[in-house]
Amino acid sequence: MKLGYPCINNTIGCTPNKTFRLASYCSSRLVESIKNNLLCLQKILEYNVAYNLLFFRISSDLVPFASHKICDLDWPRFFKSRFQELGQYIKQHNIRISMHPDQFVLLNSPQAHVTHNSIQELLYHARVLDALELDTTAKIQIHAGGIYGNKPAALERFIHTYNQLDTQIKQRLVLENDDRLYSAQDCLYIYQQTGIPIIFDTLHHECLNNGESLETILPQIFATWKTSDGVPMVDYSSQAPESRKGKHVATLNKAHFTQFIEQTRKYNFDIMLEIKDKEKSALQAIAIAQRLRSTAL
DNA sequence: GCCGGTCAAGGTCTT
DNA sequence: AAGACCTTGACCGGC
């Protein structure tokens, strides 16, 4: 089991998200941003290794506008050796990597241009992981998408589009249950039609489920991951008190996390902590997990 | 300098 | 039909 947090680190004082406005696009600006982001990513990974946080989600903003038609830089080539060095570091320290494109990636949109742009965005994410020369245990996670007034049709569109994707994307793509539209059961249905591994989100499952306990749902979810996909990934969070349903807590709820670790002790999986204060909670969580689990962490 | 409206991209839900 | 909200930090223009 490995444990980590997404995208940014608030302790070390750099941002791996540096971007700029589309209106002020120029390639020198792009180069400058990517340089900054790669350097900061390296610093974050070094911090993480020092604290044994061996799971990390790389920000989608690593290469700004990478999937936009304005982008005229062959960035994988331009930064080839930088990516290789970083990838080397990741492999050397056995760090697990994920990425999570945001809400605009919709494989089941009825609008062809939306689906097209989504695939371009997935290709960008795959290129990052390829440039790092990571194996297929490095994953890209997305949601199933919208309903568009007809859920069966929307599900079929997802399946159809998924089945036509290039291997370069498919070998890394995993599907996450969301908190309003597509439950873990819905994702399992998609898995049966496609073979796409399912990444389980604990808070989303609390918001939207079919009454399954962790005990019944987790074995089904974990069975969707093949050896080449690596150990299953799980997104962990808990409900922010007195807030909209589905909102992530600001800082780790230790009692809730402790219970989660106790309930899942028999499984091996990697945990991504989706908690607002990032590495601060991750450090608390790893202390709890190390105390409660017998397997090396 | 600092503040706050705005930012490539799409949905759902409420009024 | 139009607007709020999701979710988020940081850009960047206006002061």
Strand-pair category, A173-176 with A139-143: parallel
Q: How far is the CA of A293 from the C1' of B12 (A)?
A: 40
- Considering only residues 97-126 of protein chain A, which place a Cβ less than 7 A from any atom of strand B? 102-104, 106, 109-111, 114, 117, 121
Whether CB of A185 is under 7 Å from strand C: the answer is no
What's the confidence (pLDDT) of residue A51?
A: 95
Strand-pair category, A139-143 with A96-99: parallel
How far apart (Å, rounded) are the C-alpha atoms in residues A205 and A246? 10
Q: How far is the CA of A92 from the C1' of B6 (A)?
A: 41
Whether CB of A103 is under 7 Å from strand C: the answer is yes
Which chain C positions come under 7 Å from a protein C-beta? 5-13
Q: How far is the CA of A111 from the C1' of C2 (A)?
A: 22
Does the pLDDT value for residue A15 go beyond 60? Answer: yes
pLDDT band at residue A23 using 50, 70 and 90 as cut-offs: confident
What's the confidence (pLDDT) of residue A295?
A: 59
* Measured CA distances, A267 to A41, A92, A164 (Å): 30, 25, 33
pLDDT band at residue A172 using 50, 70 and 90 as cut-offs: very high
8 Å CB contact between A265 and A293: yes
Whether CB of A76 is under 7 Å from strand C: the answer is no
* Measured CA distances, A30 to A14, A41, A67 (Å): 17, 16, 13
Strand-pair category, A233-236 with A270-273: parallel
Which DSSP string corresponds to A185-202?
Answer: HHHHHHHHHH---EEEEH
Per-residue pLDDT tens digits for A71-92: 989 999 999 999 999 999 999 9
Q: How far is the CA of A82 from the C1' of B3 (A)?
A: 37
8 Å CB contact between A268 and A297: no
Q: How far is the CA of A278 from the C1' of B9 (A)?
A: 26
Which DSSP string corresponds to A106-172?
Answer: -TT-SSHHHHHHHHHHHHHHHHHHHHTT--TTSEEEEE----TT-HHHHHHHHHHHHHTS-HHHHTT
pLDDT band at residue A249 using 50, 70 and 90 as cut-offs: confident
How far apart (Å, rounded) are the C-alpha atoms in residues A111 and A280? 41
Residue type, A62: L
pTM for the model stands at: 0.96
Instruction: List, in sequence order, the alpha helices (H) in chain A.
Output: 27-50, 75-78, 80-92, 112-131, 151-163, 167-170, 184-194, 202-207, 214-222, 254-263, 279-292
How far apart (Å, rounded) are the C-alpha atoms in residues A61 and A72? 17
